[in-house]
Amino acid sequence: MTHRILILGGTTEARQLAGKLAARADCLVTLSLAGRTESPVAQGVPVRTGGFGGADGLAAHLRETGIDLLIDATHPYAAQISANAAQAARVAGVPVLALRRPGWEPVEGDRWTQVDTTGDAVQALGPAPRQVFLALGRQEVAAFEAAPQHHYLIRSVDPVEPKLAVPDATYLLARGPFRETEERALLEKHRIDALVSKNSGGEATYGKIAAARALGIEVVMVRRPALPDVPSAETVEALAAIVNQFGVDHFL
């Protein structure tokens, strides 16, 4: 018997998990992407792209495509789709598991200012002009137009369009992972004195946090949003093990 698994993705872990589960002879895996990135990396399994139309749309999709197991492997800041996944699974009577990568914790030497939103991060930078590295998605950087006195270094996977309405911004296109040594060189080259980051967790983007610590640079850390309480694992391996150990039948 073949089991249909839908993985809500947009993260490296979702792609890795899809590869692992697709290797099982009894699983048909589809990966779902929001379609935000213009040229996403190859995912290695069948992909569907675009929103479902809220929780109801996702519930209808689960029923129509006969999904047996839904896995929410979206980014920790993608709170809407995670809420939709939990609700749609309930409505459609489909089991759901989540891959929840743990956040970073501050360690000795870190200079973190923790805030709840990007709007709060703008305030936390203060009134005096600073050299700020925005390591945020292109959707979030617009909030910094409210503080045009700073110089911004803005790194994103796709170009930020329209450009920020601030007099002094440098744009950098790059896709992680980013190593600490390279991040340190970047912070030094641009004489950065504040870094604004999400608490993404994981290794791939931790380099900038370690580099900021080494250079004594303040990190304005936007806290994670609240996510629904569904059965979850912290790593790709742990989540794949749950599916392998119990089999998809267990969740039906």
Binding site for ligand NAP (CB under 6 A): 8-11, 32-34, 36, 51-54, 57-58, 74-75, 77-81, 84, 137, 198
Identify the CA nearest to 236 among candidates 3, 9, 69, 2.
Answer: 9
Nearer to ligand NAP by C-beta: 10 or 201? Answer: 10
* Min CB(149)–ligand NAP separation in Å: 26
Nearer to ligand NAP by C-beta: 57 or 167? Answer: 57
Torsion angles phi and psi, residue 177, rounded to 5: -75, 155
* Min CB(244)–ligand NAP separation in Å: 23
Nearer to ligand NAP by C-beta: 172 or 185? Answer: 172
* Min CB(59)–ligand NAP separation in Å: 11
Chain CA centroid to CA 65, Å: 26
- DSSP string for residues in 106-143: --TT--EEEESSHHHHHHHT-SS--EEEEES-TTTGGG
219 close to 115: Cβ distance less than 8 angstroms: no
Q: Residue 118: which region, alpha, beta or left (left: phi > 0; alpha: psi -120 to 50)? A: alpha
Nearer to ligand NAP by C-beta: 132 or 135? Answer: 135
Nearer to ligand NAP by C-beta: 131 or 235? Answer: 235
Torsion angles phi and psi, residue 94, rounded to 5: -110, 135
* Min CB(179)–ligand NAP separation in Å: 19
Give kind and range of the element (H or E) at residue 210: helix 207-215
In the numeric block, which tokens belong to residue 162? 């329209």
Nearer to ligand NAP by C-beta: 1 or 42? Answer: 42
* Min CB(80)–ligand NAP separation in Å: 3
* Min CB(154)–ligand NAP separation in Å: 15
Type of residue at 72: D
* Min CB(17)–ligand NAP separation in Å: 12
Closest CB to ligand NAP: residue number: 51
Q: Cα(125)–Cα(37) distance, rounded to whole angstroms? A: 29
Measured CA to CA in angstroms, residue 223 lies from 115, 169, 226 at distances of: 6, 25, 9
Nearer to ligand NAP by C-beta: 106 or 228? Answer: 228
